[in-house]
Amino acid sequence: MPVIPFNDLAVQYQGIAGEVQAALERVFQQARFILGEEVAALEADFASYVGVSNAVGVASGTEALQLALMACGIGPGDEVITVPNAGVPTVAAIVAAGARPILVDIHPVSYNLDPSLVEAAIAPRTRAILPVHLYGQAADMDPILEIAHRRGLRVIEDACQAHGAEYQGKKVGSLGDAGCFSFYPTKNLGGYGDGGMVVTNDARIAEKVRLLRNYGQKDRYYHVVEGINSRLDELQAAMLRVKLKRLDHWNEERRSLARSYDRLLGDSPVIVPSDMGYGTHVYHLYVIRSGDRDRLQAALKKEGVETLIHYPIPVHLQEAYRHLGFGEGSFPVSEKYAHEILSLPLYPGLRPEQVEEIAGLIRRL
Ligand SMILES: *Cc1c(COP(=O)(O)O)cnc(C)c1O
């Protein structure tokens, strides 16, 4: 066990253990485990939290993206524009929907989709833009939405790292045709297992996702479309309801810890993350950049500070995705940053003096 771990879900659980246990007990007593009251209640609560009219619980963030694409009618022969630096699930979801991912480089300051590069990537088969709100900060949505409207494209937001983040006063997930969330345990709102959610103001998209997540079943044993099994279960939903009530509080704690890092590292040789000013960053991850990243990471590890890299290999350079056809040098910003980025510990329950300790070590190293 490192002296300061990268994350600590046990410390978070200690604060809510009683309520989580009560929620579990309630589900066991109700003895309904799939698509019951808990999922319906979480969907209603989450829709209202994000500020949309519909939310549909699914089995993971990846499948939220896949089903949102499918519900927009996107499939084989279609192209979807996204980024190379957000990890593999986003691209995996596009492929699972049957479409082809077209990658576009990131903005050097926001680390999110660079709107100025989108037009050049649009081709006759392009059907959607899929921006990722990476590390907890919104992508610059206004220019993306403007391009999409002008070119007749759908916008599906990958908000899997940005529960509660805002863009121009609106919650992410509510800006495009659909927004997709993951409840993977370490996310800002995480369950105790897998889970996900599609949110949308479009009732037809919501209805389609409801069908698709449950083998296309409209009434019992009557199947109107070809779907899959991607249901959120009642136990996860019951526990997520306990945690949703605390999401804003936890995000505020993350923001406060991030401000401490900013202050303590501001005049050091590492580059701290930029708060873009067009919204509220919820710091799913606190990612710095250093020209000497590997040595810094090794030195921190020796001092007992655990760090991670999100992500060390851009998707197009992963062995599994060479077939997308984007070689080395295709996306200079993403490729350069993959060698420089380092995620520092930041989670609800991390103590301010631990942030001071980590920042002090970085300054000394
Ligand atoms: C976590 C994550 C996903 C996938 O979520 P799962 O629930 O693990 O399937 C997709 N996109 C991004 C950016 C993520 O961080």
What confidence tens digit (pLDDT) does each residue in 211-229 have? 999 999 999 999 999 999 9
131 pocket-lining for ligand 1 (C-beta < 6 Å)? no
86 pocket-lining for ligand 1 (C-beta < 6 Å)? yes
Of ligand 1's atoms, which has the minimum distance to the CA of residue 63?
Answer: 9
What confidence tens digit (pLDDT) does each residue in 24-71 have? 999 999 999 999 999 999 999 999 999 999 999 999 999 999 999 999
List, in order, residues 6 or more apart from 189 with CB less than 8 Å away: 163, 164, 181, 183, 240, 243, 244, 247
Rounded mean pLDDT, 255-263: 98
112 pocket-lining for ligand 1 (C-beta < 6 Å)? no
Query: Which residue reads 């999401």 in tokens?
Result: 247
Distance (Å, whole) CA 197 – CA 181: 5
DSSP string, 221-238: TEE-S---B---BHHHHH
In the predicted structure, residue 2 carries a pLDDT above the cut 80: no
91 pocket-lining for ligand 1 (C-beta < 6 Å)? no
The beta strand positions in 53-167, using DSSP E, are 54-58, 79-82, 100-103, 126-129, 154-158, 166-167
Of ligand 1's atoms, which has the minimum distance to the CA of residue 194?
Answer: 7
Rounded mean pLDDT, 92-121: 98
The predicted model scores a pTM of 0.98
